[in-house]
Amino acid sequence: EADIYQTPRYLVIGTGKKITLECSQTMGHDKMYWYQQDPGMELHLIHYSYGVNSTEKGDLSSESTVSRIRTEHFPLTLESARPSHTSQYLCASSERGQETQYFGPGTRLLVL
């Protein structure tokens, strides 16, 4: 089981602010993912990375950006938050050669 951490767990912020959601894992997993999930709805992949300096956009278009400078760290940034960004953001990771994904606890974002 992966140790994967997300901060902050909850964030309430005003429109137009820049925010960064942090995700870190200590298992040395090569692959990391960001999902967006609205209450009672399915998970949507918004970004993924197969390793350092590798990032790809997911299936759901998102105004957020990500970076992968270190294996263990995969932060997500919103340059200008809007109420439509209100959601839960879940980070996951998996080992090279494996498809099982392990999730962090999530960040609940509320943009006023």
Partner 1 sequence: QKEVEQNSGPLSVPEGAIASLNCTYSDRGSQSFFWYRQYSGKSPELIMSIYSNGDKEDGRFTAQLNKASQYVSLLIRDSQPSDSATYLCAVNWGGYNKLIFGAGTRLAVHP
Length of the chain: 112
- Residue 61 contacts residue 77 (beta carbons within 8 Å): no
CA distance 108 to 112: 13
Total number of residues binding partner 1 (CB under 8 A)? 20
Would you tell me how many other CB atoms lie within 10 Å of the CB of residue 104?
24
Region near partner 1 per CB under 8 A, out of 18-26, 66-74, 78-86, 100-108: 100-108
User: Contact with partner 1 (CB under 8 A): which of 23, 25, 31, 76?
Assistant: 31
Among 48, 62, 68, 85, binds partner 1 (CB under 8 A): 48
The helix/strand/coil state of 85 is helix
Separation of alpha carbons 63 and 54, rounded Å: 18
Does 103 bind partner 1 (CB under 8 A)? Our answer is yes
Q: Binding to partner 1 by residue 90, rule CB under 8 A?
A: yes
Q: Should residue 36 be labelled a site residue for partner 1 when binding is judged by CB under 8 A?
A: no
11 binds partner 1 (CB under 8 A): no
